[in-house]
């Protein structure tokens, strides 16, 4: 527990003080689901170099704990959409407006691939719903 607090304090310091214009391009390690991506930050020492990013302003269905067929279909389509966008951008994403998320160890940011806001693209394709991170999450099952 203490190590996690230290890890996130150091990472936050790195993010705050070393990101010009609060934007950076990072390598993608793994797409967790349609709105969460695990990344590796260059020039940051281990174990502080691996962080999870939640795409700001959206919600996609969870892959775990699926409640209905519609949720399952959209959850996997959203994940595959994100994977495709990242592959077409040399497995990199650009992060802007990076903030500490409300869940430990995860950050929230505007995420871009090929200069396009990934959250907006997911919404435009019906794979995400707008969500500001507070209040009830969007309903994916009727």
Separation of alpha carbons 126 and 121, rounded Å: 9
Six token digits for residue 11: 């990472």
Contact between residue 100 and residue 107 where contact means Cβ atoms under 8 Å apart? yes
Higher pLDDT, 75 or 103: 75
Q: Where are the beta strands (DSSP E) in 1-142?
A: 23-33, 36-40, 50-55, 58-59, 92-100, 106-113, 116-117, 129-130
Confidence of residue 142 (pLDDT cuts 50, 70, 90): confident
| Residue 13 pLDDT level (bands cut at 50, 70, 90) | low
* Token reading at 71: 């949720």
What is the set of domains in the chain, with CATH numbers? 2-130 (2.40.50.90)
pTM over 0.95, yes/no = no
Per-residue pLDDT reduced to its tens digit, 36-45? 999 998 888 8
Higher pLDDT, 22 or 132: 132
Could you tell me if 120 and 45 are in contact, meaning their C-beta atoms sit under 8 angstroms apart? no
């Amino acid at each position: 527990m203490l190590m996690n607090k230290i890890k996130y304090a150091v990472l936050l310091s790195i993010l705050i003080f070393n990101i010009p214009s609060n934007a950076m391009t990072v390598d993608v390690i793994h797409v967790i689901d349609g709105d969460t991506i695990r990344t590796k930050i260059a020039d940051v020492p281990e174990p502080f170099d691996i962080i999870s990013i939640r795409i700001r302003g959206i919600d996609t269905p969870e892959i775990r704990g699926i409640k209905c067929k519609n949720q399952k279909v959209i959850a996997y389509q959203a994940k595959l959409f994100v994977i495709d966008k990242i592959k077409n951008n040399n497995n990199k994403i650009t992060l802007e407006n990076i903030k500490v998320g409300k869940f430990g160890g995860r950050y929230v940011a505007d995420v871009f691939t090929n200069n396009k806001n990934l959250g907006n693209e997911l919404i435009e394709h019906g794979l995400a719903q707008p969500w500001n991170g507070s209040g009830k999450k969007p309903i994916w099952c009727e």
